[in-house]
Amino acid sequence: MLQRCLDLLAPALERPGSVVVDCTLGLGGHSEALLTRFPEARLVALDRDKEALRLSGERLAPFGERATLVHAVYDELPDVLERLGIARVQGVLFDLGVSSMQLDEAGRGFAYAQDAPLDMRMDQTTGISAAEVLNTYPAGDLVRILFAYGEEKQAKRIVSAIVREREKEPFSNSARLVELIRDSLPQAAKRTGGNPAKRTFQALRIEVNGELAVLERAVPAAVKTLAVGGRIAVLSYHSLEDRLVKQVFAAGAATTAPPGLPVVPERYQPRLKLLTRGAELPTEEEVAENRRAAPARLRGAQRIREEAE
């Protein structure tokens, strides 16, 4: 859905001196497309993964000083812009979830299809690993995480097996967890929804990286950094992510006036205009080309008014 993201942002970025923020740099594919499509724009790109910054830095080197790459989590955007002396930006892009590089690099432990240490930290210099979560969290917390973040209906069954097995030997590698999940589920649950470990791995990744808590802070902060006329596009891959984005955009696009006023004063007028009708989905062609795009949901909004004083 890259082309659609570029088209959504285009009216705000096709002007000299515009600044666009890629909040989820990854391997730099979206950043490269932004810099190529909008030759007058300056890019600020964030990522918490130092290896991603290194690799994308090589990719974006031909753009020189037009690209500024920063080691940061995307809820730190206001602080990053302040350090760079940037008051407002014209465009913001989020491509949420785990990057292809992280999925494909076996040693990171994100993928359930190959055995690897259960790490799952996007920034491997800080925080606790997925193995620590599995080995130390109380059973009730693990059930909550699997059910809320992975939408795993068999959470209690899986957690019972995890608690039983970790008493024998702590978890360290992904293959053992995948095997335990397969053995824990009833046959009917194994026949639907792809790999039965998918939902548990997703839930652990979200917990390890605090993704929903970070996103809850990041999207409102990103909206506040937009200049009037600026645009934001968010690609989500999980219903909870999409719901958070939807709520922020809907609140910004609604009047805050008390009911019954004959004329709505300026300070109560909406700050945002929605650019998508609901969430846009990938085309069949996009899913055929990249199956990881299947759950993607795109929402966009434009800043039409400053915050009320």
Output 39 or 185, whichever has higher pLDDT: 39
Q: Give the pLDDT confidence score for residue 107 in this predicted structure.
A: 53
CATH classification at residue 147: 1.10.150.170
Kindly report the backbone phi and psi dihedral angles of residue 231, in degrees, each rounded to the nearest multiple of 5, phi listed first. Answer: -130, 150
Is the confidence at residue 20, as pLDDT, over 90?
A: yes
Same domain, 158 and 24: no
pLDDT digits (tens, 9 = 90+) for 191-217: 666 688 889 998 999 999 988 999 999
10 with 29, same domain: the answer is: yes
Q: Which residues are annotated as a binding site for S-adenosyl-L-methionine?
A: 28-30, 47, 74, 95, 102
Q: In what order do the strands lie in the sheet with 89-95?
A: 67-71, 42-47, 19-22, 89-95, 226-236, 297-303, 272-274
pLDDT at 248: 96
For residue 100, being part of any structural domain is answered with no
Nearest-10 crossing angle of helices 139-150, 155-168: 140
| pLDDT for the residue numbered 292 | 74
Residues in contact with 10: Cβ distance below 8 Å, sequence separation at least 6, in sequence order: 37, 38
**Last residue in a domain, options 209, 229, 259:** 209
**Is residue 165 a part of any domain in this protein?**
yes
Counting the structural domains of the chain, the total is 2
User: How far from chain centre, in Å, is Cα 92?
Assistant: 13
Residues 203 and 219 in one domain: no
8 Å CB contact between 112 and 202 = no
The pairing of strands 89-95 and 226-236 is parallel
Cα–Cα distance for residue pair 201/180, rounded to 1 Å: 13
Q: pLDDT category, 283, cuts 50, 70, 90?
A: confident
Last residue of a domain, one of 194, 209, 224: 209
Annotated binding residues:
28-30, 47, 74, 95, 102
Query: Do 118 and 34 fall into the same domain?
Result: no
Residues 112 and 204 in one domain: yes
Other beta carbons within 10 Å of 103: 15
Q: What is the DSSP letter of 91?
A: E
Q: What would the two tokens of residue 257 be? A: 């006036």
Residue 65 belongs to some domain of the structure:
yes
Same domain, 130 and 258: no
Specify the pTM.
0.85
pLDDT at 112: 67
Half-sphere exposure of 31 (CA within 13 A, CB side): 31
Window from 56-60, 96-100, 142-146 with minimum mean pLDDT: 96-100
Q: Are residues 236 and 281 in the same domain?
A: yes
Domain boundary, last residue among 175, 209, 243: 209
Query: Which residues, at least 6 apart from 304, have a Cβ–Cβ distance to it below 8 Å?
Result: 228, 229, 270, 271, 272, 273
CATH number at 274 reads 3.40.50.150
Query: What average pLDDT is seen over the chain?
Result: 89
Cα–Cα distance for residue pair 149/210, rounded to 1 Å: 11
- Find residue 163's DSSP bridge partners: none
Task: Measure the CA–CA gap between 59 and 66, rounded to whole angstroms.
Answer: 13
Average pLDDT rounded to a whole number, residues 219-226: 96
> Helical H runs in the chain?
2-13, 29-37, 50-60, 77-84, 100-104, 130-136, 139-150, 155-168, 174-184, 187-190, 198-209, 211-225, 239-252, 284-289
Give the structural domain span for 278.
Answer: 2-95+211-303
Q: What is the pLDDT of residues 100-120, one digit of tens each?
A: 555 545 555 556 667 889 988
